[in-house]
Chains A and B, each alone.
Chain A
């Protein structure tokens, strides 16, 4: 999966990507204080390309502990479980399921919007591919607005950036590849080499996406994210991240 982090104060986009094994579950947001966890389970492409197997988010899990509610979103179904009871919809429906403060709204074959009261919302996009494509598989994208009020202790691959880190980008210069400028970025006491590039925002154009220029951090975001990306593996779709 590709990550794009928008830093409102410095008005910069920083991006990185992580490729790991299908089945692994990554913690995106973990906020034990608010009782909210968001995890993504990886799905692999049908076969490697150039010797490398791409992975995507095939399933997302939202756990709203205080509401005793779990929402599992896969590329096929959307399941809302409250205690022992569950209701399921499919991406073929246009529907809304509401329970107390939680509202799950499905736009047929496009998006699911999950809102918690008025203070929190998440947007999940479905990327459908040609079923017989030899390599590509359906996958999901998730978008989290800066207006979401997580606690200061929130963490996870995305959650940690709810507290915006200071960054300083300087010494912009031609890169090894003349067409890919490089620069230096100081962040969290580290000095990284970053590369200018493009990522995609699919919310307005679900097929081709909109180009988003960003400074790309190499090595699965090392130095920009706390610790190593493997620190963000969690055992279950609804687990909270265990921090050292």
Chain B
């Protein structure tokens, strides 16, 4: 028992004691680096299997893992997948395994290590991973999945949030049903905040004399940064720059939206019920200047209206009534349904029935693969691409795990949208609504980021079809500090009724003293964020690559970057070995889920960073050179005895 030094008595019902479980996260300007460390000791007279099983956000990149077993340290190295496997097969660790497995949870992956340790032996695990925070519905969320599995003598979570723009609010919702009320301690300053969560052993107990831990869930932090002052934030540091853009004080752009809903037999039951419930709320949220219609499909394709209708109260009531009556049955003809939706929007556009300042969206909701009509997914994708006009964005929501999610992702990514997986259960409705709310308020169209200076290179996607209120567009790139004193950016976009040009200048040393002052700030955040963004975008570009050669080229770049930035991506694996190199474990990521920037709302494109649209170059006559009535500076020098006349 270890209780003598902590004063707390721990039963020895458990042969393995969790001596400490520590989680530390640092979020610097949306770039989050998390370390999970666990120390255990085998108290029993028998060898014991010890498991280190943590959930990390899908799309996070693991950057390091170390394990110390009875003084023998295993360190990790990132290798190309096949190389990693070869190394592993040469020297399999005995009684030890490691691996990344796909979890059934919506947006998590499991990193699991299992090791067999001798009586009295100690083991320490430490995992590092990094991820980017995407702004959704007006805030960033940082989720830490805590599942130590047993009571921990020392349990502590520390999260530091460092945001140069200033933290507008920070909220830690109760996600443990009140069990840890008052335990999370929040301290928040203007640009920095700290959340600590350090339950004692007694507080960890499910009940006063239980030996199970109640620490089994997610600690969630929600925050946003200050935006009133400026629409965009350009942060430069260490030869990289990151550009955040999330203007708010703009009027919503009218949208023409078509809901394409799968009503095939497989939707029967809770899926359809939840979808109908969501649609009723979504329709209520439409604005008066929006136009909409509903296409529902199984082996047949039906429409509520054959063309777009203004979102008046009466029309919305009628559409809701139509949706409530839907009875799911039959097969799934995605191809025809999408082509019908595209036809309706194209027709309206050709007949000039659309507000020239509006945006057009299609939201596809489906829970399965096509079973009727065109079945070949690549053909469907091609049909859509050939028919859809450039002013339409396609978003796909795949319910459950029978739908080919990769197909939906490709389908949306190449049509200015994204795909999202929806869990088919009792909160399908809230997931559908939450997704819709992310695209319900288009504020800008054709947003383009330009960095006119030639020494700016490797810019990530910098041209975006839409910008939706509550979200944020992030662009990053490289520059040569020796050649620049300040970095200039020009963002061009079109709002509801105006064209917008936003110029930002960032000084080279803007962040220097800010970051140097805070030991928790990650001085490397710009490089990490750039790498994260670039690799994720390349992953999707790879899935859309038109030729094998193009795909190979992208694969090569991703691999090079993954190795250079020491992160586990779908193309690399982590080899964990002891000093002698005669014992190895292998952890490689789930192969099939090349999700781009999970949580990001945008898939954009790249345009030359210096190509500012011509209309944005027309600048007015310089303000200072204006001759004016009443205040024209005179050349004559006033007689010395004249003094100021203040006023009457």
Contact with B along A54-72 (1 / 0, CB 8 A): 0000000000000000000
Query: Who on chain A is nearest to B625 by CB?
Result: A203
Whether A213 and B503, one on each chain, are in contact in the complex, defined by CB atoms closer than 8 angstroms, is no
Do A6 and B630 touch (CB < 8 A)?
Answer: yes
Complex Cα–Cα for A220 and B502 (A): 41
Contact indicator A213/B642 (Cβ below 8 Å): yes
Determine the chain B residues whose CB is within 8 A of the CB of A107 once the complex forms: 623
Pairwise interchain contact B645-A180, C-beta atoms closer than 8 A:
yes
B502: A residues at CB distance < 8 A: 93-96
Contact string, A211-225, partner B, CB cutoff 8 A, digits 1/0? 111001011100000
Report Cα–Cα, A2/B86, bound state, in Å: 82
- A87 near B630 with CB under 8 A, answer no
In the complex, the answer to whether A216 meets B630 with C-beta atoms within 8 Å is no
Task: Verify if A80 is at the interface (C-beta below 8 Å from B).
Answer: yes
In the complex with contacts A85-B496, A94-B502, A5-B623 CB distance below 8 A? no
Q: How far is the CA of A212 from the CA of B642 in the complex (A)?
A: 11
B505 touching A5, Cβ below 8 Å: no
B213 to chain A, nearest CB (A): 48
Q: Smallest CB–CB gap between A76 and chain B, Å?
A: 9
Which of A6, A17, A145 makes the CB contact (< 8 A) with B626?
A: A145
Interchain CA distance A6-B641 in the complex, whole Å: 22
Given A92-B230, A123-B623, verify A211-B648 contact (CB < 8 Å): no
Interface of B is mostly: loop
A98 part of interface (Cβ distance < 8 Å): yes
CB distance from A78 to the nearest CB of B (A): 10
Contact across chains for A90 and B229 when beta carbons are under 8 A apart: yes
- Interface residues on chain A, size class: 35 or more
A111 interface residue, CB < 8 Å from B?
A: yes
Q: Judging by beta carbons under 8 Å apart, are B498 and A143 in contact? A: no
For A5, give its contact among B626, B630, B648 (CB under 8 Å). Answer: B630
* Given contacts A88-B250, A213-B634, A99 and B620 within 8 Å (CB-CB): no
B629 in the interface (beta carbon within 8 A): yes
Minimum Cβ distance to chain A for residue B499 (Å): 4
Residues of B within 8 A of A13 (CB): 630-632, 634
Instruction: List residues of A whose CB falls within 8 A of some B CB.
Output: 2-6, 13, 15, 17, 19, 77, 79-80, 82-90, 92-99, 103, 105, 107, 110-111, 113, 115, 121, 123, 143-147, 158, 161-162, 179-181, 195-199, 201, 203-204, 210-213, 216, 218-220
Interface residues, chain B, CB within 8 Å of chain A? 228-232, 249-251, 495-505, 615-616, 618-621, 623-624, 626-634, 636, 638, 641-645, 647-648
18 contacts between A and B (CB under 8 A): A13-B632, A15-B645, A19-B647, A84-B251, A86-B251, A90-B230, A92-B229, A96-B500, A98-B501, A105-B623, A123-B623, A158-B630, A196-B642, A201-B631, A203-B623, A212-B632, A213-B636, A213-B638
